[in-house]
Amino acid sequence: MKIAIGSDHAGYSLKEAIKRAHPEIEFIDGGAFSEESVDYPDHIARTATAVKNAEVDLGIGICGTGIGASIVANKFGGIRAALCTNEFMAEMSRRHNNANMLILGARVVDESLALRIVATWLETPYEGGRHQRRLDKIALLEKENGVR
């Protein structure tokens, strides 16, 4: 599996912990590369672009609260970025919404919980069925509103 991962300075440490916790995954790191202050839109956009262009299977974005990263990632057509603060949200984001990007708030969830959220998100399959109808409606809204 290949995953794009990106963060701002607040999420740098958590990003590195996720990479260490999953040596079986090939991570494409979109930055940040230190805890020096950076602008989250730059790194999250790079990560979302890799997901959108199918250069990777999935993406993970991290900032202080996860809110900014969610806003940025969801500006890209075809991205279904889910800000998750617990394992149930991670499971349902995959099972019902087929989220292709997980967003975490490094100042909201501690590392232990974040690693459990990531594991749950990665292990949970998409159910399809009635949920696909809803995703098709989201794709139509993107098209109607010029989201590319």
**Catalytic residue check, 9:** no
CB atoms within 10 A of CB 61: 33
**Options 9, 22, 43, 63, the catalytic residue:** 63
**Catalytic residue check, 43:** no
Task: Measure the CA–CA gap between 61 and 77, rounded to whole angstroms.
Answer: 16
List % helix, strand, coil for the chain (3-state, nearest 5). Answer: 45, 15, 35
DSSP class of residue 24 equals T
Residue among 119, 104, 40 at smallest CA distance from 66: 104
Catalytic positions are 63, 96
